[in-house]
Structure 1
Amino acid sequence: MDIRPLRYLVTVADLGSFTLAAERLGVAQPAVSMSIRNLEKQLGLSLLDRGEKRVKPTAEGALLLVHARRILDEVEAAELALNEARGLTKGEVRIGIPSMLGSYYFPPILMAFKHRHQNLNLAVFEDGTRSIQKKIREGTLDVGVIVADRVPADLEAVPFLKEEMVVCVPVDHRFAEMDCVDFEDFFEEELVLFKEGYFHREFIDRVCEKSGLTPKVAFESNLIPLTKSIVRQGFGITVFLNMVLKDEPDLVAVPFRERVFLNMSIAWKKGAYQSIADRAFVDFLLEHAEVAADK
């Protein structure tokens, strides 16, 4: 069975454009258009609504896309399994990591994993947890770090880290001498926050939703060094995982009165085939987490 028309259909539907799909697939645009036209003729159905601005699947196309994605996933899994049976491992782990963990938790783990498995490659992508989930579903990431208490039904996940979320203030701030901070007092301050889609921001949004409070957002940035600099200079305060504020003498970590702990999981697509490299990385990460928890 030639699955190219299905792959072309899925790519066009995802990108909303024959031109962009052809570029991603590395083929000529007429080949993509002709292949999908032949598939429509074979089925006697119109699969794509070829609008002026964006190509969208028809109702019949959307139905076929559900099965097409499943077929492509199974074909990829079969190819990986056969390659590994011949001793040819995938050899690469594509992992998505939020910036805070990527900067302060994962570097020694990634280096230790590479030292143990020198023939395996790691491709690390920094992103928000919501985007990481999407990319795992799409197959552009093999595994990724997400918030443990919000695992979608189509992903498998194993918790590996529990860390406290704390208020970050400069040493001369009124909170610096306090044992803890109320949410009400925190939200009276000018805040420096990550952009939407990151667990840092989602934590703030959940607290606001629960308490009915409104944040005063002075700055939005996903850059941790910039955020720290803004806080040091007194233009706002923020929240970080506690690990981010170790060895920062001019910044103070203050817990919330209602202590907040964030649980993180390593996740992958449910039912998808995991290569030897993927399994090796997940096992290594969980092994490291167990050792760290015992210390």
Structure 2
Amino acid sequence: MTDTVFKLGAEEAGDGRFRRQQSKFRDWADTTEPGRHDLYVSYACPWAHRTIIVRRLKGLEDVVGMSVVHPYRDERGWAFTGGEHRDELHDWDFLVDAYDATDPSFEGRVSVPVLWDRQEHRIVNNESADIIRMLNAWGTEGPDLYPEDLRAEIDAINEPVYDNVNNGVYKTGFAGTQEAYEESFTALFDWLGRLDERLGGRRYLAGDRITEADWRLFTTLLRFDAVYHVHFKCNGHRLIEYANLWPFARELHQWPGVAETVRFDEIKRHYYTTHPELNPRRIIAAGPLDMDWTEPHGRG
């Protein structure tokens, strides 16, 4: 492990509030053919994990290739260290090479996921919300995760879940002042309570059909007790204390093929070793020991 330190840079605002950088590459591919596109992902990252899950659910594993970065990240960005964490396309050492090949002037934080176009030798898109919709449109297997009749409701729930939960744990964890921390902490647990109540009256966030909204929430819930509760000081409640969110998360974890995409070892190694300002000794928390993701969920 290198001693080079990862830093938030421009995302650490002067008022103590964490402001996530906007994704730079937002092109859209309406169709694909086998071997045209590849994903660069991390099993540790919740944003990239969304794309790994949708790629599997939509039967695209033989259509869209995938290269996995190492879970540890320093200021040089996500790295390929060999073995399973190898760039299958170019044998690059760092994901920044993909950004440089696309736009040599790029100066932001190198992020995953990345959708790469082999034919044009460039990044098509590095916004997970866009990528999962492209994958959903390309795949012929599994349910439609963005059905036309539910799009308005999906969009309406995605926005506050992103701001207060998906990104809310980061705004809480990386808050630079007590005021900023308490502001995001309060919003986070307010929305977790709202979502728990919502799921008490319906199977999924948008009704009786699973959609992208559920998978977008799932990857945050999956990491909550193992990482965010401790590492990001999101200690208002644990996931297992919610009457509906915890069974909901177990149901999605037990969805065919999903458990195989979950790497708690990489998740914990990434978070607890990458942020020395939060965990300077880089000791990886051993727990929790009381979560059984295989326990029957009882939701239908």
**Same fold per TM (> 0.5)?**
no
TM-score in terms of structure 2 length: 0.24
Rg larger in 1 or in 2? 1
Greater strand proportion:
1
TM-score normalised over the length of structure 1: 0.24
